[in-house]
Structure 1
Amino acid sequence: MQKNNFSLEFNREYKIKELIFVNSGSNYYVRLPVDSHAAIIADNNSGKTSTLSALKLFLLPEISFKRQSEKFGFSSGRKFFEDLDSYLYYFPGADSYIICNASNPKGDFCWVLYRTTELRYERIALPVSYDEIEHLFWDGRSKNNENAGKLHSDIESKGIKKTLITTYSGKPFNDRKAIGESIYTRTSNDNDDSRFCLLPMIKGYSSNKTETIRALLNMAFDLSNAATTSLPMAIASILDGQSMSAVKRNNSEGILLDLEAQLDEWRELKQLNSKLNVVKDNSNLWISLEKSRESFKETKREFIEKFKNINYLVESEKNKNQKEVQEVAKRVEEADKHHQSVEENYKMVKVSYDNAKINAKSEKKSLERNKSIIEKVEETRRHLKPLNPNDGSDESILLALNEQIALCQEDIESLKDKNKAIRRMEELNKRVITNKHRVKCLTETIEHTENKSSLFDELEAGAGSKLLSLNKDFGKVSVKLSQEQKKITESFCELITLSKQRVYFCDSELITTEFIETNSDDYIKQYKDEIEELNSWIHKDSLEIKKNKEYSLLTKEAQAKKLQECEDELEELKQNRNDLKAFDSIMASIKIGVANLQIAEEKYKEENDKFEKVKRHRVETRIAMEKEHSRSSEIKKYQADIQNYVQKLHAIELSTGHLCKLEQVLDEHEESCEKERAAMLIESKIEELEELKGKLINEHEETINKTRELLDKGIVESEVDDRYRLKESDGSLDNYYYSLESVFRNIDKSLESFKQRLEHHNNQNATVTKIIENVESWIKAFFKQLNDEMKKYKISNLSSVELIAELHPQYTEVIKTLNSTGNRTDILNTQDFYTQIADFQNNFYIKRAGKIDIARIIEKVSYRFTRNGTVEVIPQSNGTNCMVNAVLLALLLSDMVPEDIGLNMPVVFDEVGSLDEKNFKEILKVMEEHGLFLFAANPEQNGIIASVLSVYHPISTFRVVDDEIIGKAEIIYYPGMEERLEEIGHSA
C-alpha cells in the first residue's frame, strides 16, 4: 500500500472517452460516452451491463474467449455464459467491431477489436480519434432508419483491416504480452507502443498486475457483491503482485517450496526407518544365506565335472552308432528294392489270377441262373398244363398265364376300389345266370336229340344241314313247330341248295358260309363239351364272386396286406410269362455257357498254379527283407537309446535352469578326461548325475528362497516379478546377493546417514510451518493498512468502517494443527502433520505458479460499522455497501497507478432504481471524490435518477427499421440523435 496521500481528483490525462459498437451484442450502431456520470436506460435484456462490460476486452490483454469465465467473467444471475455464446454475442459476424476511443498525453487514439477464428479476436491500434474513421463504418447521411443513418455494406474485417493499417497507420496486436505492455505502460519516447496506453501501471506490465486489474474490473462492474466475489480476488492479486504469495527459500530467486516433495521425502524417511529396522532384525537370515550360497557353489563345481564326462561318453557312442546305421541302411535299401520288384510281379500275376477266378465264377453263376429259369418254366408248365389237358402247348399255357394275370389285375382293382369290386360281382353274377340258362338249354337240346324230337327231326331230310350251315345255333334250338311254321321253314330251306360242300341261296353261293353236315352224335358230344366248359366258367365266376365279396368286407389293414400279396403274385406271373416266352433263347445260352465255363475253369487252374509259385517267392523275399529291417531296428533302437541319453542330458541341463551354463563348459572338455566307452555305464552315470542335480537344485532353491525372503522384506529395492524370476544363469541372483551384502555390511553407516537426513527434513518442516503460518500475518497486515486508509474517509453517517478478512475454515484448521506440532528433530512427525500439509497444498497452493492461493484463503471480506461510538453488527443498506466498495476500489487502484497520473474508469451500479435518492446521491459523491464515473443501469427513467444524474443514455429507444440485423444487434444510439429535427409536411 502506498504511503503517500491519494489524490481524489484525477487530472484526466488518460481518458477512455467512449465505446463504439458495430453489429455487436444488442447494438447495430452505438456510440456510448463513458467519460462522465450517466444513467443507461434500457429494457431488461437489452444489453445495458454487457455493453459496458465490453470495456474488459480492452483493459485485459486477452486474444481469445476460451475459458471466458476466468478471463472476463461475463455472466447473468451468477451463472457464467458459455465461451461460444459470449464470443458470438460480442462478435456475431465478420462485420462486427468494438472500438475504444481514448486519449493520453500522446494524443487521441483508438483500439479496434474484430473477430477471427476459433473463439479468437484481434485488435488494431490507431493514432487517431474515432471521429476520423467513423465514415468507414457509418453513413450518417443515409435516410435509412428514419434518417438515423445506416452501416456501410462493405465493412467486413478484411477490407477494414487493410484500410486501417495502410491509410491510418494502424498497428495490429496479436500477442498477449505485447498487448499488455502497450495498454499498461505509461507513455514515453522510449516505447512507441506506449502511444496506445489505456491504464498506466507502476513498473508497467506483469502477469500479476494483469490479475489484479482483472479483479478490480470485476469489482468495478459489480459493486454490490464485491465483498464476497471480486474484493477477495483483488486483495489476493495485490498481494501476489507484491510477491507475498510466492514462497522462496535459501534466499535463491526462483527456488520455490515443493510441498509434494516434502511429503515424498517424509514417506521415504519413514520407509527407510522401517527398512533399517528390518535389516537389523534379519541379520541371522543373512548369515544363513551366506552358508547356503557356499554349499551351492561347491555342488555346482562337482555337477559340471560329472556332466562333462558323461556327455563325452555319450557323444563317442553316438558317433560309433551313426556308422552302423549308415551300413545297415544300405542293406535295407537293397532288400527293399528286391522285395519291391517281387511285389510288383506278384501284383501282376495276382491280377491275372483274380480275373480268371472272377471269370470262372461269373460263367458258373450265369449258367446256374439260366438253369434255374428253365426249372421255373418247367414248374409253370406242370402247374398250368392240367388246366387244358387237350392242348399242352406253350401257347395255351401263355393264354392261361394271361388269364391268371388278368384275374390278378382285376383283384388288384377290386382291392383298390370297393365300388369296382361290387360292379365286378354284378357282372360275374349276370354271367353266371346267363351261363346257367345256356346249360339248361343245351341239356334240353341233348334230350330232344337223343329222343328224336329235335327241330331237325321235325323237318324233312337235308333241311337240318342247311340251317346248321347258316347258323350252328339252330342245332341248339328246342322248339315244337306248328304245321304252318314247319311249312314255312321247309319252304325257306328249299331256297338253299348244297353242292360239293358249298352252300347256295337262290343259286348264289354264300362264300364264307361253311357246309356242316348234321350228325346227332357229334353234336351231342359238342354240346356236352360246351356244357362242361360253361359249368367250369360258372364255378370260376362263383368263386370270383365269393372272393370279391370277401374283399369288400376286409379291414383297411387286411385289404392293404391282400393288395400287396396280389401285386407280388402279379409280378411273379409276369416273370413266368417272360421266362416262358424266352425259353428257347435261354436254352441256347445254357449251351454256350457250358462251353464258356469249361474254358474259364481251365484258365483259372493255369493262373492259380502261377500265382501259388509267385506267392511262395514273395514270402521268401519278405522274410529276407524283414531280417534286414530287424537288424536295422536293433541298431536304430540303440541309436534311440543314445538319443534318449542325449535328451536326458539335455533335460538335466534344462531342469537346472542354466544354473551352470553347461553349453559353454562342454567346449572345455578333452578326450583324455574319459577313456571308458562301455555304453552300459551310461545309464548308471546319468542316474548319479540326476541325484547330484537334485541336490544342486535344492541348494539353489534354498539360496533363492532365502534371498527372496530378504527381498520380500524390502531390504533392497526389487520388483515382484524379478523376485519370482531369480536365476543363477542371468546374474540376477548374484546381483541381488551383492546388493544385500552391501546393505548388511554397511548398516552402521546407513543408520548414521538416516539420522542426519531426518534432522535436515524436520528443519525443513519447521520452515514450511512458519511459511504457512505467515500467510495469516500477511493478510492481517494488509487489512490493517487498508483499514488505516479507510479511516481518512467519511462514509454516509458512519463514524468508521473496518474491513475484516474471514479466512477459509480449512486453512484455520491447518494452522491449529501445525501450532500443536512439536519441533523435535530426532523423530518423524505424525501422519496428521503431513495430512494437513497435503490439505494445504491441495486447497491453497498453486504448484505451477509456485505461490499460495490467497484468494481462496480469504473466503470473504466482511464490514464492521461504527456509528456514534457504537459497533453495529447488523448489515447496512445496499447503498452503504456500494459506497464502501467504491472507496475500496479507488484505494486499490491508487496502488496500481503512478501518483502523478490521473485516469477515469466507469463503475456500474445495476438496478439503481432500488435505491432512495439520499443513498444514490451519496454513491455519486463517493464516485466524484475518487475520480470514478458512475454508470447507473435501470430499465426506465425515474425521478430519483433524474434528480441525481443530469446525463442519461436511452440506448434502447431506437431500433433498426430498414436494414437487416445480425443476431440481437438492432439498437442505434449516439448522443444527440434524439434531438434530430425533421420537416413536417402540411396537408393541402
Structure 2
Amino acid sequence: MTTLIHSEDQLGLDGLGEQGDAFGPVRIALIDSAGYCYCELPLDLHMLLIAPGNTGKSAALQALKLFLLPEDSLKKAEKKFRFAHKSGYYSGEQSHSFYFPAANSMLILEVENAFGYHCQILFVGRGALRYERLFVPARLDAISPFIWNKSLGDCGCPEAQFSPTLMREQLKKKYPGTEHAQNRDQVSQLLYPERALDPETGRFALLPLKKVDYSTLNALRTMTHMMFEDTTDGKQLAKSIAALIEASKRDETDNLELDLEAIEEEHRRLESDTAYIANVEGLEDKYNLVLQQYNNLNRLHDINIRWNSLLFSARKLAQTLNEKSKPLAEKVFHSNEAFEQAKQNLSRISTQAKELEITIGNNGDRANNGKGIKGDIQLFRSRVDKVNAICAQYPGTQIKEVILILEEYRQEREQRLSVLQENVNNAHRRLELQKNREDFKNKIFAENEKIEHINRLLGSHLTPHAQDVIATLIPDMLIEVLSDEELHLAIPKIEHFSELFNVDNEQISFHQQYWKKHPFSTKKQLQKNIASLERKLQDCNNQIVDIQQYQSEPANVLNKLKREVTEARNDLGLLNGIQQTRQDLHDKKEHLIEAEKQFTDAKQKIIDGQSQVTKTDAAHKKYQNAQTLLLKQSDEINAIVTSLAHLQKYQEGRLYEEHALATPCSPTKELVETLENDIEQARKLRENVLNGLRVFFEQQIIHDPHRIAMSQSPSGQHVKEGMESLQLVYRELPEKKTALKHAYTEHNHLLNTKTQTLIDNVTLIEHFQRNLNQELNETNINNLSGLKFSISLDNRFKKLVSEIQAVDFYAEKSLGESFYRSLVNFCQEFFSRGESQTLTLEDIILNVDISYKIIGSERWLDKPQSNSTTSLTTLAIVQYLMQRLFKPGVKYHIPYVMDELPTIDPPQIPPVLKEAETRGFTLFCASTRAVGVDVIAAVGNHCNIGDIQADKFFSQERRIVYWGALESLAPLDDPEMQLTEDAKFDEHISHAEVIDETL
C-alpha cells in the first residue's frame, strides 16, 4: 500500500499546543475546487481579495457558508446556501459540481478557540450531492504538506503520493481525537455544542452560541445569508429578526405554538355539549312515556313461555319424522348408487366388446374390410400369394435362386436406363457447347481487332528508351495512329532524337506511372486472353465430337425400362421379406384366436350386466316409493309447524329477558288464537317503544350501534340496551350540566393562557425594536447621523390580538360566537390548507422598514440610499444582530463577507473596520484589479490571486495557486506614502510583484 511519509517539521507538530485567543476562523484553503488548484486565504484579519474577473473571488468568499452552516448535503442548495448568481441561486447539482468537481476536491477551514487550533476538512461524501467533514486537532500548516509540496518550483506542486482517502486515514492515526462527521446532527454537535466552553465538548467549536436549538441555528442561517448578500431588504431583515427573537426566548413557553384549529375544535365540542343537554331536557316528557310503555310490555312475560311450549311440541314432532327419514334416505341413496354402478359396469363391458370387435375386424359389413387382425391376415396372405406367383415363373427354382435372377435382371435394366438417360443429357449438353463455341469465336475476333489497333500506334514500335524520352517530353505523340509508310519514316528519326537524352530513374518512374494504363501496354494481356479462349474453343469441339458418337433411343423405351426397374425392386422386396411375412401371418392367426375368445366372454358379461341393472333398478324404485310416502307425512307435520311459525317474529323481537323452559303440550287451535291476541297487544306496545327510541336516535341523544332505527324486528336484547342507555342519559343529566360549566371555565382559562403568549410576543417584538433603535440611532455612515427601524406585523394578527385583549376569559360560559368566528376567519385567511396551524414570528413579522436621518437635519427619510450607504448599513445591522447570538464575555472573530468593496467610500473604511473589530468581525472582501490604491491602503491587507498558475496540478481545469504572506500598503496619510495617485498604484504593483517573486 502506498503511504505518505512526512517529517514532524513538515507536519507542524510544534503548533499543536498553541491556545487560541478567540473563537473563529483563521484560514481557508481550497484544493482542486471552485476554480483553484491550491489556494490559502487568511480570515482572522481584515483582508481584500484582488483578482481579475471570473477568477473565483466570489466563490472563495461564498465557500465560508459550507463551514458556518451545519449541513451535510447540497440538496436544495438554492434554499439552504443561496449561492447567488445574476438571475438567482445555483442549484444543488451546480453547487456540488463547482465546489466538489473531482475526487481530490477538498475545502479546509483552520479554526481557533479557547482550546487550541483545529481544522475542518470538507470532502466528497457517499451519496448524491453529499459531503462529509473531518475535524482534526491540528493547524493547516501541519495538514497542507499531505496535499501540496511548497518547496518545489515557483509555486509548489501536488504531493507526489497524494490520496485524499489515505491522507484522512493517516490524520486519524497521527492525531488522536480526530472526529469524522457524516450527518447533520454530528456536524451540529461538533460545530455548535451546548457547552462550547467545556474542553470535552467544545474542542471543535466554531462559535460560542448562547443557546443551541433550532431557533438559534435558524437565526444563524438567516444572518449568514444577510451578511453574504449585503442587502437591507426588509423581508430578509424581517426573517432575521424573527429568528433572533425566537432564539432569545427564555423557555419553550414563550414560543408562539398556538394551535388555533385545536381551540376551535374544543369550542365546537363545548357548544355541541350545550346543545345536547338542552335537547335532552326538552325531550324529558317523551322519555317518561316511552319508559312507561316499556314497563307495560315487560309485564307480558308469559307470552314467551306459552309460545315456547307450543313451538317445542311442534318441533318435537317434526324432529321425530326427521329421525325416521334419515335411514330411509340412506337406503334410497345407496340403492341409487348401486343402480348407477351397475349401469356404469354394463357400459364399460359394452365398450370393451366394441373395442374387441374393432380389433378383430368384425365391425361394419360381414365382409372383411381390411381393418383389424383379419385385415392384417388378409394383407400378409396376399404378400405370400404374390411370392408364390413369382416363384411359379421359375419352376423348380428355390427362392434364393429367384432372388439372384431378379437381382441380375434389375442391375441390367438399371445400367441400360442409366445409359439412355446419359444420352438424353448429352443432347442438351451438346446444344450448350455449340452455343459456347460461337461465343468463344466472337471474343477471339474482338481481341484480335484490339491488337490490330495497338499495332498501328506509334508508341508500340519504339524502343523502351525512346518511349521514356517521348513520354517525358511529348506524351500525346505515343498514342498517334500511323500508317505503315508513316511508321517507316518516323521511327528512325525518333530513335535518333531520343539518343540525345539520358533518362534517370525519376523520369522513368514518371513514364511508368503515367503510361502504365495506356492501351498499347495491354497487348500482351490481350494475347494471353486469345490463347485462353482458343483452348476453351478446342475443348468444346472435343466434347461435341464425343457426344455425337452416342445414339439416342425413343422415349417409350426409356419409360418401359423405368417400369421394369421398379417392378424388379418391388418383387425383390417381397422375396427378401417372405420369412418375416410368414411369421407375422402366424402371429396374427394366434392373436385372432385369443381376441375372438375374449369377445365371446365379453358378450356373456354383457348379458350378466343387463341382469344386474334390472335387479338394482327394482330395489331403487322400492326404497324411492317408501321415501315418497314418508315425505308426504313430513309435509303434514311441517304444515302444523308453519301455523305456529308466524308467531316467531315476536320471539325474535321480544323486549324482556325472562326465559322459561318449554314443557311439552298438544298444540291446539284455541291455544294458538289466545297467544295471537296477546302477541298483537305486545306488538303495539313494542312498536310504540321502538318509535320512541327512534326519536332519541335521530336527535343523537343516544347511539344506535345495532341500527335499531333501520330494523323492522330488532332483538329484545338490543332494545333493552337502547332503553338502558336512555335511562343512563337522564340519570347523568345533572352531573353533565355541572361538568359543562367546569369545562367552559377550564377552556377559557387555557385559552387565556395561550392567547397571552400572543400578547407577550408582541411586547417582545416591540422591546426588540426599541433596543435596536437605541443601539443604531446615532450610527454615523457617510452623511447619515442615525437609523430607525420599524417592524411591520401582519394586520390580521394585529386585529386578532386586539380582539383578544377585549375578551373576558373568566366567565363560566362561551366567550361568544363573534370571538370564535374571528379565530376561524384568521385560520382560513392566514394558513394554507394542509399546513400546520402554528404561529411563528416569521409568519407574523412581514417587513422591516429603515428610515435614515441626514446630518444636520431632523427629518427621517424613507428613500433608498447609495450603494455605499446600503452596504455600510447592512454591515452595522448584521454586526449588531449577530452578536446577540453569542455568549457574552467570550472573544470571537467572524469574517464579514463583502463581495464588492469599491462601493464604499475610502474615508469610511477605517472607522468601519474599527467598529467591526470592537464587535468581533473581520472584513473579508473582494475586488477586481481596477480598485484604487486608497481602498487597498484603507483595508491594509490584500491578496493578489489569479496570476500564478501551476505547471503541475490536480485537474487541467483548475490551475490557479496562491499561498504565503499577505501584502499590505501603508495608509495614505503616512509620510512615506505622500506620492501621486499613479505613483502610489505603481509602487503597489511593484510591491506585489516583489512578493509574488518571493513566493
**Could you state the TM-score of these two structures normalised by the residue count of structure 2?**
0.58
Q: Once the 2 structures are TM-superposed, how far is the Cα of residue 266 of structure 1 from its aligned partner? A: 1.0
How many Å separate the matches in 2 of 1:647 and 1:815?
77
Q: How does 1:69-108 map to 2 (within 5 A)?
A: 71-76=80-85, 79-108=88-117
User: Is the 1:96–1:115 contact (alpha carbons within 8 Å) kept by the matching residues of 2?
Assistant: yes
Partner Cα separation in structure 1 for residue 126 and residue 333 of structure 2: 89
| Matched AA of 1:856 | D
Question: Counterpart of 2:235 in 1: which secondary structure?
Answer: coil
1:129 alignment partner AA: R
Q: What are the residue-to-residue correspondences of 1:258-337 with 2, within 5 Å?
A: 259-299=260-300, 301-318=301-318, 321=321
**Corresponding position: 1:172 with 2:179:** yes
Query: Which of 120, 132, 135 is equivalent to 2:142?
Result: 132
Give the distance between the partners of 1:255 and 1:20, measured in 2 at CA. 42
8 Å CA contact 2:788, 2:850 repeated in 1: yes
How many angstroms apart in 2 are the aligned matches of 1:330 and 1:12? 108
Q: 1:779: how far off?
A: 0.6
Are residue 855 (structure 1) and residue 845 (structure 2) matched? no
Aligned to 2:359: none
SS of structure 1 residue aligned to 2:700:
coil
> Which of 638, 641, 650 is the aligned partner of 2:636?
641
Q: Which of 878, 881, 885 in structure 1 is aligned with 2:870?
A: 881
Aligned amino acid, residue 662 of structure 2: H
The structural deviation recorded for 1:781 is 1.0
Residue 594 of structure 1 corresponds to: none
Q: Deviations over 1:418-446 (max 9, x none)?
A: xxxxxxxxxxxxxxxxxxxxxxxxxxxxx
Task: Measure the CA separation in 1 of the matches of 2:910 and 2:257.
Answer: 49
CA distance in 2, matches of 1:304, 1:931: 96
Aligned to 1:804: 790
Residue aligning to 2:926: 937
Query: Using the alignment, how far apart are the partners of 2:50 and 2:309 within structure 1?
Result: 111
Q: Sequence identity of aligned pairs in percent?
A: 21
Partner of 1:712: 698
Change (3 A) 1:727 1:32: farther
Which amino acid is the alignment partner of residue 262 of structure 1?
I
Distance 1:289 1:793, change over 3 A: same
Q: For residue 39 of structure 2, what is the aligned residue in structure 1?
A: 30
Compared with structure 1, are the counterparts of its residues 958 and 282 closer, same or farther at alpha carbon in structure 2 (3 Å cutoff)? farther
Q: Write the distance in 2 (CA, Å) between the matches of 1:171 and 1:308.
A: 90
Task: Select between 951-960 and 159-168 the one with higher mean Cα deviation.
Answer: 951-960
Q: Which residue of 2 aligns with 1:199?
A: 207
Q: Structure 1: give runs of 5+ residues left out of the alignment.
A: 1-10, 249-253, 344-617, 984-988
Question: How far has the Cα of 1:780 moved from its partner?
Answer: 0.7
Structure 2 vs 1, CA of residues 941 and 314 (structure 1 numbering), >3 Å: closer, same or farther?
same
1:130 and 1:234 mapped to 2: Cα distance? 33
Q: Which moved more, 1:256-265 or 1:91-100?
A: 256-265
Aligned to 2:767: 781
Tell me the SS of whatever aligns to 2:44.
coil
Which residue number in structure 2 is paired with residue 115 of structure 1? 124
User: Is the alpha carbon distance of 1:698 and 1:67 closer, same or farther for their aligned partners in structure 2, counting shifts above 3 Å?
Assistant: farther
CA distance in 2, matches of 1:106, 1:297: 89
Matching of residues 658-669 of structure 1 within 5 Å = 659=654, 668-669=661-662
Q: How far off its partner does 1:633 sit? A: 3.9
The one-letter code of the counterpart of 1:140 is: K
Q: C-alpha deviations, 1:526-557, integer Å up to 9, x for none?
A: xxxxxxxxxxxxxxxxxxxxxxxxxxxxxxxx
Give the aligned partner of residue 460 of structure 1: none
Q: Deviations over 1:290-321 (max 9, x none)?
A: 1342344345x344223212222213433554
Return the alpha-carbon distance in structure 1 between the equivalents of residues 151 and 334 of structure 2. Answer: 123
Higher Cα radius of gyration = 1
SS of residue in 1 equivalent to 2:110: strand
2:224 paired with 1:217: yes
Which deviates further from its counterpart, 883-892 or 239-248?
239-248
1:210 Cα deviation from its structure 2 partner? 2.6
Matched to 1:210, the amino acid is: L
Q: Counterpart of 2:961? A: 972
Change (3 A) 1:324 1:30: closer
Question: In structure 2, what is the Cα distance between the partners aligned to 1:66 and 1:101?
Answer: 25
Which residue of the partner structure matches residue 882 of structure 2? 893
Given residue 907 of structure 1, which amino acid in structure 2 is its aligned partner? Y
Q: 1:240 — aligned with what?
A: 246
Cα deviation code 1:479-511 (max 9, x no counterpart): xxxxxxxxxxxxxxxxxxxxxxxxxxxxxxxxx
Q: Distance in 2 between matches of 1:156 and 1:723?
A: 81
Partners of 2:98 and 2:862 in 1: how far apart? 43
Can you list the C-alpha shifts for 1:412-471, whole angstroms capped at 9, x where unaligned?
A: xxxxxxxxxxxxxxxxxxxxxxxxxxxxxxxxxxxxxxxxxxxxxxxxxxxxxxxxxxxx
Which residue identity does 1:783 align to in structure 2? Q
Instruction: Indicate the SS of the match to 1:863.
Output: strand
Q: Give 1:151 shift.
A: 3.4
Is the CA contact 1:910–1:937 (under 8 Å) kept in the aligned structure 2? yes
Whether the 8 Å contact between 1:245 and 1:852 is mirrored in structure 2 is no
In structure 2, the residue matched to 1:871 is 860
CA distance in 2, matches of 1:981, 1:885: 34
Kept after mapping to 2: 8 A contact 1:658/1:728: yes
Distance in 2 (alpha carbons) for counterparts of 1:626 and 1:117: 88
Structure 2: how far apart are the matches of 1:854 and 1:945? 40
Report the AA paired with residue 908 of structure 1: V
Quick check: 1:22–1:98 contact (8 Å CA) kept in 2? yes
Query: CA–CA distance in 1 between the matches of 2:32 and 2:896?
Result: 24
- 1:224–1:909 Cα contact (<8 Å) kept: no
Q: Partners in 1 of 2:231 and 2:744 — Cα distance?
A: 52
Q: Distance in 2 between matches of 1:282 and 1:688?
A: 37
Offset at residue 112 of structure 1 (A): 1.4
Residue-pair matches, total:
672
Cα–Cα, structure 1 residues 721 and 905, in superposed 2: closer, same or farther, change >3 Å?
farther
Displacement of 1:270 in angstroms is: 0.7
Of 145, 160, 163, the residue aligned with 2:167 is 160
Q: How many angstroms apart in 1 are the aligned matches of 2:313 and 2:178?
A: 96
Give 2:407's aligned residue. Answer: none
Q: Residues 291 and 939 of structure 1: is their aligned pair in 2 closer, same or farther, counting only changes over 3 Å?
A: farther
Tell me: CA distance 1:304–1:137, structure 2 relative to 1, closer, same or farther (3 Å): same
State how far apart, in whole Å, the 2-side matches of 1:873 and 1:255 are: 31
Tell me the residue number matched to 2:756: 770
Q: 1:82 to 1:839 in 2, by over 3 A?
A: farther
Summarize the alignment of residues 790-829 of structure 1 with structure 2, pairs less than 5 Å apart: 790-791=776-777, 793-821=779-807, 825-829=811-815
Matched position secondary structure for 1:221? helix
Structure 1 residue 974: Cα displacement: 3.0
Q: Distance in 2 between matches of 1:241 and 1:812?
A: 22
Whole-angstrom CA distance in 2 between matches of 1:61 and 1:209: 12
Unpaired runs of at least 5, structure 2: 1-19, 344-613, 967-991
Taking the aligned partners of 1:931 and 1:958, their CA distance within structure 2 comes to 33
Distance 1:177 1:321, change over 3 A: closer
Alpha-carbon contact 1:304-1:660 (below 8 Å) kept: no
Q: Quick one: distance in 1 between partners of 2:234 and 2:333?
A: 110
- Equivalent residues of 1:245, 1:851 under 8 A apart: no
Contact 1:14–1:903 (8 Å) recurs in 2: yes
Counting only pairs closer than 5 Å after superposition, residues 315-714 of structure 1 correspond to structure 2 as: 315-318=315-318, 321=321, 633-646=628-641, 653=648, 657=652, 659=654, 668-671=661-664, 674=665, 676=666, 681=668, 699-714=685-700
Structure 1: distance between partners of 2:824 and 2:651: 52
Deviation at 1:639, TM superposition (A): 0.3
- Aligned partner of 2:731 among 731, 745, 760: 745
Residue 48 (structure 1) aligns with: 57
Q: Report the AA paired with residue 934 of structure 1.
A: L
How does the TM-score come out when normalised to structure 1? 0.59
